[in-house]
Structure 1
Amino acid sequence: MHGRIVRDLGMRIVSGELKPGDRLPSEASLCADYDVSRPVLREATRVLVAKGLVLSRQRAGATVRAQSDWHLLDPDVLYWLIQSKPQGEFVETLLTVRRIFEPAAAALAAQVASDAAIDGIASAYAAMEAAPTPEALLEPDLAFHRRIAEATGNALLAYIGNMLSLALRESIKLSSQHPDTHALSLPRHKAILTALQHRDPLGARQATLVQLEETKGDLSVVLDTPNGQNVAATTDRSFFRPFS
């Protein structure tokens, strides 16, 4: 019940049903709705506070905070956002973040990465090449991007890269519906790897930008076709681990 309360209220907040400045329903009302004690409800509220979704004050109750205060890279908050947003809107949001983050991370990795880190990226690419199906391509593709962030040697960039991989998984699963996903994906990632191996920051940045722009085109093909729209509406989101 504790997890259900957090999940339900979290979804109501990120979906906009409960807006910034709104107060959560009263403790008495929520306790009755969920048939739980006040201590259980208050623990659930503390979780929402920790995620930046609400501000709780004694005698004033819990108030929904502005979206700018939410911990958007928190796995649960990110999961709720993806569940509540239209697929196309979420994809565009993610691509915007990736265009800002990934080219810069690749350029830095090309400058500072250890040989072992570059070898790790190359291993992820080799696993992409060996993947027999689009489904098998998913994990090494995620590892490829995550290892580039780790190769920067910057713990904060590595953390951001790891958190983005939760959302990136959704994007890759969607783009894998493109009939030529394997053939299209490999040369784009190979270009990034080659630039990294040659310690070419400008080349790594440009190859990453090209990969993202072409990925955007692939996603548009999927989203703009009737079948793609059906896929977008039913994409399996079980890879997320909602709060429990």
Structure 2
Amino acid sequence: MTLRTARPRTSGDLIASIAGRVPMRNLHSQVLWQLGVAIVGGDFPEGSILPSDAELLQRFAVSRTVLREALKTLAAKGMIEARARIGTRVLPRARWNLFDSDVLAWHFETGPDEAFLRSLAEIRIGVELESAALAALRRTDEQAQALIDCARAMGETTTPEDFARTDLEFHRTVAQASANPFMASISTLVELALTAAFTISSPIKDPTAMAATVKAHSRIAQAIQAGDAEEARVAMKAVISEGLDRQMKAR
């Protein structure tokens, strides 16, 4: 069984860059990335036993400490479990922490299937519709104007990366405007979904799709500025659904 090797620039690098974080490049993160991608990609299927520590140490050419830390991190994410006299087993996907940034990035690195993308869109709908509605009722004048400005700036972006960053800033501002600290915390998943989706599809190369996306975000901003919670919900659902449709067509 051959482990996948990390590409020079992975989807994880892109996600971290767009979200404003510095990608980790130490030995621990490299081993963690390759093992995580191998598990998510099915090189090590659910229920299978990972190679022994001795074999993994030979493959990665790292210290036992580095390997053990990578395995502990995978265990903390609900992906593996070590048992005496059995070995380290890959746990069922139902146990994996899909809210974890690494786990989500590994799915996009290996190419998420339609079911995964739909599930991600559904959880976004569950979170962001209410976030937009609360923002319409609680936003400050400054936040309302920031959303209007952000939607306008989205239409002026010229690269997929700049578009993704502006899109991310828009949704972050909606979460902040909800004035609900839990909503803002959950929006981390939204951040990951948006930045990871960039690795599949961006509307910036399609003028028609770009215009529709900017208009849809402007609709959200205007509804929040007007204090129309129901319109904000409808407009947000349209944005998420259109994004999903675009990803499906790009696969």
TM, length-normalised to structure 2: 0.76
SS for the counterpart of 2:99 is coil
Runs of 5+ consecutive residues of structure 2 not aligned to the other structure = 1-26
Say how many residue pairs are matched: 223
Runs of 5+ consecutive residues of structure 1 not aligned to the other structure = 224-231, 233-244
Q: How does 1:55-134 map to 2 (within 5 A)?
A: 55-57=81-83, 60-86=86-112, 88=114, 90-132=116-158
Rounded Cα–Cα distance in structure 2 between residues aligned with 1:134 and 1:37: 39
State the AA in 2 paired with 1:11: V
Determine if the alignment matches structure 1 residue 33 to structure 2 residue 59: yes
Determine if the alignment matches structure 1 residue 142 to structure 2 residue 145: no
After superposing the two structures, state which structure 1 stretch, 187-196 or 30-39, moved more.
30-39
TM, length-normalised to structure 1: 0.78
After superposing the two structures, state which structure 1 stretch, 146-155 or 208-217, moved more.
208-217
Name the counterpart of 1:237: none
- Give the drift of 1:106: 0.8
Kept in 2, the 8 Å contact 1:178–1:218? The answer is: no
- Give the drift of 1:155: 2.5
Rounded Cα–Cα distance in structure 2 between residues aligned with 1:132 and 1:36: 42
Residue 52 of structure 1 is aligned with which of 78, 95, 100?
Answer: 78
Name the counterpart of 1:178: 206
Closer/same/farther in 2, CA of residues 115 and 76 from structure 1, 3 Å limit? same
Q: Deviations over 1:182-237 (max 9, x none)?
A: 211122111111110111111111111233334444445x43xxxxxxxx5xxxxx
Name the counterpart of 1:152: 178
Name the counterpart of 1:164: 190
State the AA in 2 paired with 1:103: L
> RMSD between aligned alpha carbons?
2.6
Rounded Cα–Cα distance in structure 1 between residues aligned with 2:41 and 2:159: 34
Residue 191 of structure 1 is aligned with which of 213, 219, 235?
Answer: 219
Closer/same/farther in 2, CA of residues 4 and 214 from structure 1, 3 Å limit? closer
Rounded Cα–Cα distance in structure 2 between residues aligned with 1:219 and 1:18: 27
Rounded Cα–Cα distance in structure 2 between residues aligned with 1:56 and 1:128: 47
State the AA in 1 paired with 2:62: V
- Give the drift of 1:130: 3.4
- Give the drift of 1:20: 3.1
Kept in 2, the 8 Å contact 1:31–1:37? The answer is: yes
SS for the counterpart of 1:162 is helix
SS for the counterpart of 1:36 is coil
